[in-house]
Amino acid sequence: MLVRKVPGFVPASPWGLRLPQKFVFLLFLSGLVTLCFGALFLLPNSSRLKRLFLAPRTQQPGLEAVAQVASHPRAHGQESPPNPAPAAPAPGEDDPGSQASSRRRKGWLRRTHPTGPREEATAARGSGATALRPQEGSVPSSFDFKAFRSRLRHPVLGTRADRSKEPQSLVHTQREKIKEMMRFAWQSYKRYAMGKNELRPLTRDGYEGNMFGGLSGATVIDSLDTLYLMELKEEFQEAKAWVEESFHLNVSGEASLFEVNIRYIGGLLSAFYLTGEEVFRIKAIKLGEKLLPAFDTPTGIPKGVVNFKSGSNRSWGWAMAGSSSILAEFGSLHLEFLHLTQLSGNQVFAEKVRNIRKVLREIDKPFGLYPNFLSPVSGNWMQHHVSVGGLGDSFYEYLIKSWLMSAKTDMEAKEMYYEALEAIETHLVNVSPGGLTYIAEWRGGILDHKMGHLACFSGGMIALGAEDAKEEKRAHYRELAAQITKTCHESYARSDTKLGPEAFWFNSGREAVATQTSESYYILRPEVVESYMYLWRQTHSPIYREWGWEVVMALEKYCRTEAGFSGIQDVYSKVPNHDNKQQTFFLAETLKYLYLLFSEDDMLSLEDWVFNTEAHPLPVNHSDSSGWGGG
Ligand SMILES: *[C@@H]1O[C@H](CO)[C@@H](O)[C@H](O)[C@H]1NC(C)=O
Ligand SMILES: *[C@@H]1O[C@H](CO)[C@@H](O)[C@H](O)[C@H]1NC(C)=O
Ligand SMILES: CC(=O)N[C@H]1CO[C@H](CO)[C@@H](O)[C@@H]1O
């Protein structure tokens, strides 16, 4: 990471040094100055961690040739344009301007030295790892699935009352189209990459990535609930059979706590709540246990990386020289971990996330804002960079969703959410000269007038939270949500492909467009359609379905290949340069949110479900039984 190159930068705390006091003071001072300098100028543009694995700009050597021959039928039968796929310059290893997530991903890939001596014994000591040790294959449960289902306010897939009268309707046709896209994405994955983490549609093979500690089948787990929802029954059975027979947890690599939680645990939990199948519950809990060593820190704030073999933990090398945990990572565990406790009876999971909450509740927040980097050892913020996009995003999302998931009993989450939102509005929300509302990024008081694609989820979040805000704020938040969503739509509308770039700026005279080619890619991300879905449910303004349909058309035109969907390198070029990845979140999130956008509101009703940050639905904790009464 760049900060490391600054001469004199002292990542470790200088207090422990046995040196004359004066020197220690000087050292501290220089460290502080460097830190501030780093915070202001040197920190890379943020990019949500979740997307590290994606490697948007890593074309394999030789891929160009493959890309050239890969042509594919268009939705409406037109010829696919020639695909010259100019070799994307590999992000220079020492190029400070290269895209942040690439740099971070490389930091991860290129770490070759061992993290230090590890005793196998520490694994056993890993907090809670021994608290739950059932025999292989079973985890005791006192969870009453039938009673849970009877408490839901709506049938899971909705009443579909209008189904018979709408077969010819436009919305029905649109929904069927999205279902066809899901079937195609799944079948392509199954054909070329079954059991691998994701499909590479141009090379027609699978890719494991390096975020999951050796776990496989991320696309399978991420697809389960979407297949179920779309009633792709045969495909769902294929996915379930794979989980039963081939999803092994006896792996020994290094995994991202956050990624494994939101994708695997989230996906398994949803599959369980939708079907009641024990296999999903048991594997979710067993996987949850494997993550517990991450929490073995002085503050209980987990580190980002767990070693499944040794049970040791560490922080990302790029996170303030390996000293920090990331807000969006440790702040996006609450929903899943409460459910792990509910489904296992083991309190350890809930204790871990309650402790995180406590630390965050008590810590000083600059201007009420939550910076992105926190030391799991000292419990102090490591810099003052605030973002509703990468590195920060889903922490805020999980506050409001914790409140909703608790059936509006978790007052603490509610307060923290609205306080944070007020601070964000005061310090980060801006209106451009052209009248577009956006959320800037904050670096110790200095604003970057840019918004990442990732930050576009916030339109949906603010809409979702508007209803429970103070009376006098509700209309305002609804309007703010609509304005931000409109801005994100503009980032799509102003591109040649009608798909939005990774990041877009507001200080160049041209607004809501990327200013560098390194920010011009689109990797099948969901955040914009996610906001369309929430805004549709809140307003039923037809504009959101229109915008959603524009995305469907653009995906078909520019991202569909013969063997699956692929991201593209440049949304400003009508000649698609595919990145050869069908991201797992395309099936988990993008297609699911699109499908919901064209469905009735009572399909996965927001009264009954909250979506985790990978779009896996988790049930609201209704304690009374005034449900619709069926399963
Ligand atoms: C995990 O267990 C399965 C079945 O018992 C076995 O086939 C597989 O090779 C094991 N994997 C590892 C990494 O040990
Ligand atoms: C649901 O509420 C009950 C009772 O308050 C609580 O014990 C349980 O942990 C909650 N479950 C979740 C998933 O929050
Ligand atoms: C099991 C394990 O490796 N735990 C380590 C996690 O990180 C903390 C803080 O650095 C260490 O003290 C633990 O030993």
CA–centroid distance, 206 to ligand 1, in Å, is 19
Count of domains observed in the chain: 1
CA 110 to chain centre: 23
Helix axes 233-246, 218-229, angle to 10 degrees: 150
Report the nearest atom of ligand 3 relative to the CA of 122: 1
Of 2-6, 46-50, 446-450, 591-595, the poorest mean pLDDT is in: 2-6
Average pLDDT, the chain: 82
The candidate with the shortest Cα–Cα distance to 247, out of 196, 204, 289, 294, is 196
- With respect to residue 595, please indicate whether it lies within any of the assigned structural domains: yes
Q: Label residue 38 left, alpha or beta by phi (over 0 means left) and psi (-120 to 50 means alpha).
A: alpha
Question: Which protein residue has the closest C-alpha to ligand 3 atom 10?
Answer: 297
The confidence score (pLDDT) of residue 624 equals 77
The confidence score (pLDDT) of residue 127 equals 35
Average pLDDT over residues 529-549: 98
Average pLDDT over residues 112-118: 31
Question: Which protein residue has the closest C-alpha to ligand 1 atom 3?
Answer: 248
CA 36 to chain centre: 29
The confidence score (pLDDT) of residue 92 equals 28
Grade residue 43 by pLDDT with cuts at 50, 70 and 90: very low
Ligand 2 in contact with 342 (CB < 6 A)?
Answer: yes
CB 288 within 8 A of CB 343: no
Quote the pTM value.
0.81
CA–centroid distance, 192 to ligand 1, in Å, is 22
CB 368 within 8 A of CB 419: yes
Cβ neighbours for 212, distance < 8 A, ≥ 6 positions apart: 53, 197, 218, 253, 255, 256, 259, 260, 263, 264
The confidence score (pLDDT) of residue 33 equals 47
- Which residues sit opposite 450 in a β-bridge? 505
User: Residue 192: which domain range?
Assistant: 167-619
Q: Can you say whether the dihedral through the CA atoms of 176, 179, 183, 184 is positive or negative?
A: positive
Ligand 3 pocket test target in 296, 306, 325 with most atoms within 8 Å of CB: 296
pLDDT by residue (tens digit) across 4-30? 222 322 333 333 334 445 444 554 555
Helix axes 348-362, 334-344, angle to 10 degrees: 150
Known catalytic residues are 259, 393, 502, 527
The confidence score (pLDDT) of residue 176 equals 96
pLDDT by residue (tens digit) across 387-404? 999 999 999 999 999 999
Percent with pLDDT over 90 in the chain: 71
Q: What are phi and psi of 345, to 5 degrees?
A: 75, 0
Report the residue count for the chain: 631
- With respect to residue 401, please indicate whether it lies within any of the assigned structural domains: yes
pLDDT by residue (tens digit) across 236-264? 999 999 999 999 999 999 999 999 999 99
Cβ neighbours for 594, distance < 8 A, ≥ 6 positions apart: 178, 529, 533, 548, 551, 552
CATH number at residue 540: 1.50.10.10
Give 524-570 as a DSSP string: ---HHHHHHHHHHHHH--HHHHHHHHHHHHHIIIIIEETTEE--BS-
Ligand 3 in contact with 122 (CB < 6 A)?
Answer: yes
The confidence score (pLDDT) of residue 320 equals 84
Of 153 and 69, the structure prediction assigns the larger pLDDT to: 153
Average pLDDT over residues 272-276: 98
The candidate with the shortest Cα–Cα distance to 352, out of 303, 417, 420, 386, is 303
Count Cβ neighbours within 10 Å for each residue of 476-489 and write b for 16 or more, e otherwise.
ebbebbbbbbbbbb
The confidence score (pLDDT) of residue 100 equals 33
pLDDT beyond 50 at 521: yes
- Which residues sit opposite 374 in a β-bridge? 325, 381
CB 332 within 8 A of CB 258: yes
Give CA–CA dist 374/383, Å, rounded.
8
Count CB atoms within 10 A of the CB of residue 163. 11
The confidence score (pLDDT) of residue 161 equals 54
CA–centroid distance, 47 to ligand 2, in Å, is 33
Is 613 marked as a binding-site residue?
yes
Give CA–CA dist 570/336, Å, rounded.
35
